[in-house]
Amino acid sequence: MTATPVTATPVTATPVTATGVTATGGGRRVLPRRADGATLACFYLVALLLIPARQVLRGLPISLTVHDILGGGILLCWLLAHFSTRLGIAKGPNPMRRAVFVFATVLLFSYGYTSFRYLPNDELNSSDHMLIVMIGYIGITLGICDGVRGRERLDFVLKTIAVSGAIVSAIGGLQFLFAFDLTEFMRVPLLRPTTEEELERMIERGSLRRVASTTGHPIEFGVVSAMILPLAVHYAHRARAAGRGAVRWWVCAGLVASGLMWSVSRSAVLAVLAAGIVLFLGWSRRRRIQALIAVVIALAVTRVLVPGLLGVFYGLFANATNDESITYRTHDYDNAVAEISRYPWLGRGIGTWYAPKHQIFDNQYILTAVESGIIGVVVFFGLFIVAQYALIRVRLMSAGDEQTKDLALALSAALVIPLLGSATFDLLAFPMVSGLSFALLGAVGALLRAVQERPRTGLTGEGPSSAATA
């Protein structure tokens, strides 16, 4: 028996581009992209925006939503990925990550400080619930900040937000125009309606309906629409500049903008005005004129299609001094001052001041000062200040890259809304606004990192290849 000689067949490496495309002699073959941090973030965002806010998981002793669980899972993935050097998780310094670490530290100190003294069972349970919810928010921020690598994947995440926001507004339009609540049919397996007392999804204001779509309240619906609108407009302008698919993004932006009207909310108007001021400061003269023309046309169409709607909005501000909702929000500030003076530094405990047991303030800064003390409110405010600082750095580092500068401007406009809006409503009491705010904070960190890494990778608008993603 003789051995058969075996000849060695030379193996040639097939080049792979940074976008996951294999170059071959006969053409290009697209490789399937591996799931990464952007994939997890999109699952979170779809669950946050499209699953009705009133649906929570069955079989749990506390009310947790799907996005609460996903946020905690993303935090666990983020932590485990940092024990490896091969999963592509970002490990360098980042101002947003540092700000979130400080926020989490103060949160834990406040929770621990509260646990050392007596609390009624209901307040202790509420504090436990708030801690779990905040862990989810921290998870999505860190997951996007360190796990979404490169502009391409960040765009994927932000486009998911824009498209989901358009769907939310379309559902709200059905509620407003036809009194048809599609969310009644959006029943997800393993979920149940919350047993907590909830507000109606269609509320009368004047002769019109205020609707909430998939959110928990019309105020939340309007503010979410205002936060998403700058992103949708950014991708519409970007598609037009590239000469591809601009119409679909303008339709998306139009749907998101309509959500501002369907909510019939004063907070929504203030939010879009704040975002508009930021955009006008950064836009070119030509784009400002185009935006003003678009606003005039939109108002004219609204006046024709929904008579009386603009009059209701005018009345919200013309009669603000006699509005019971405003006087109701400010009449209990003396109690807030008394509570803050009792526990000035770390507060009485996160989640311990809640309705209907306690009087609500409709001011997140005051509520945070009561629950987490002066330190807590400074750190919470600092999260959004650090985000604006990081976005200014992005714009300064992106000279000549108009797309990146415009994206930074859109994120700045979106995040100025929770920064200012926290003074007009309890932001953390609205899970969709809160989750979206923390997701956008993570997007700021991811964008800054992508701009910082670009000179080292030699790529334009791209990050590491998909083979090295978290």
The Cα 398–Cα 406 span in angstroms is 10
Which of 191, 197, 225 shows the shortest CA–CA distance to 211? 225
Tell me the pTM: 0.89
Please calculate the CA angle 210-214-220 and round it to the nearest 5 degrees.
60
Report how far Cα 39 is from the mean position of its chain's Cα atoms: 16
Report helix angle 246-263 to 266-282, nearest 10.
Answer: 140
Tell whether 5 is covered by a domain. no
Under a CB-based contact definition with an 8 Å cutoff, are residues 221 and 168 in contact?
yes
Tell whether 96 is covered by a domain. yes
CA distances from 340 to 115, 119, 215, 349, 429 (A): 18, 17, 31, 11, 19
Strands (E), 51-163: 55-57
The Cα 329–Cα 342 span in angstroms is 22
SS3 93: coil
* Dihedral sign of CA atoms 210, 212, 216, 220 in order: negative
Tell whether 26 is covered by a domain. no
Return the structure tokens found at 77.
């993935």
Return the structure tokens found at 401.
């890259």
Q: How many domains does one find in the chain?
A: 1
Phi, psi of 57 (to 5 degrees): -70, 140
Return the structure tokens found at 340.
């803050």
Question: CB under 8 Å, gap of 24 or more: what pairs does 335-342 form?
Answer: 335/359, 336/361, 336/366, 336/369, 336/370, 339/370, 340/369, 340/370, 340/373, 340/374
Residue-level pLDDT, tens digit, the chain, 470 residues: 444 454 444 444 444 443 444 444 444 555 566 789 999 999 999 999 999 998 999 999 899 999 999 999 999 999 999 998 888 899 889 999 999 999 999 999 999 998 888 889 999 999 999 999 999 999 999 999 999 999 999 999 999 999 999 999 999 999 999 999 999 999 899 999 885 444 455 565 556 788 999 999 999 999 999 999 999 999 999 999 998 889 999 999 999 999 999 999 999 999 999 999 999 999 999 999 999 999 999 999 999 988 888 888 888 887 766 666 666 666 678 889 999 999 999 999 999 998 888 888 889 999 999 999 999 999 999 999 999 999 999 999 998 899 999 999 999 999 999 999 999 899 999 999 999 999 999 999 999 999 998 765 444 444 444 333 33
Under a CB-based contact definition with an 8 Å cutoff, are residues 380 and 368 in contact?
yes
Instruction: Please count the other Cβ atoms lying within 10 Å of the Cβ belonging to residue 279.
Output: 23
Instruction: Give me the amino acid identity at 125.
Output: N
Instruction: Give me the amino acid identity at 121.
Output: N
Instruction: Give me the amino acid identity at 358.
Output: H
The Cα 425–Cα 385 span in angstroms is 19
Return the structure tokens found at 240.
């037009």
pLDDT score for 468: 39
The Cα 66–Cα 54 span in angstroms is 11
In total, the chain counts a number of residues equal to: 470
Tell whether 23 is covered by a domain. no
Query: Radius of gyration (Cα) for the chain, nearest Å?
Result: 24
In the block, tokens 């047991």 appear at 357
Which of 344, 343, 369 shows the shortest CA–CA distance to 423? 369
Return the structure tokens found at 215.
């959110």
Tell whether 95 is covered by a domain. yes
Instruction: Give me the amino acid identity at 339.
Output: E
pLDDT score for 122: 93
* Dihedral sign of CA atoms 421, 422, 424, 430 in order: positive
pLDDT score for 94: 96
Which helix (H) or strand (E) segment holds residue 209: the answer is strand 208-211
The Cα 50–Cα 288 span in angstroms is 32
Instruction: Please count the other Cβ atoms lying within 10 Å of the Cβ belonging to residue 445.
Output: 26
Tell whether 17 is covered by a domain. no
Which of 55, 290, 385 shows the shortest CA–CA distance to 193? 55
Instruction: Please count the other Cβ atoms lying within 10 Å of the Cβ belonging to residue 196.
Output: 8
Tell whether 16 is covered by a domain. no
Tell whether 28 is covered by a domain. no
Report how far Cα 149 is from the mean position of its chain's Cα atoms: 18
Return the structure tokens found at 418.
């929770």
Question: CB under 8 Å, gap of 24 or more: what pairs does 17-21 form?
Answer: 17/465, 18/457, 18/459, 18/462, 18/464, 18/465, 19/152, 19/462, 19/465, 19/466, 20/465, 20/466, 20/467
Return the structure tokens found at 391.
């976005």
Under a CB-based contact definition with an 8 Å cutoff, are residues 154 and 38 in contact?
yes
In the block, tokens 């019309």 appear at 218
User: What residues pair up with 191 in beta bridges, in sequence order?
Assistant: 57
The Cα 298–Cα 290 span in angstroms is 12
Domain that holds residue 268: 34-457
Question: What is the distance in angstroms between the CA of the first residue and the CA of the last residue of the chain?
Answer: 53
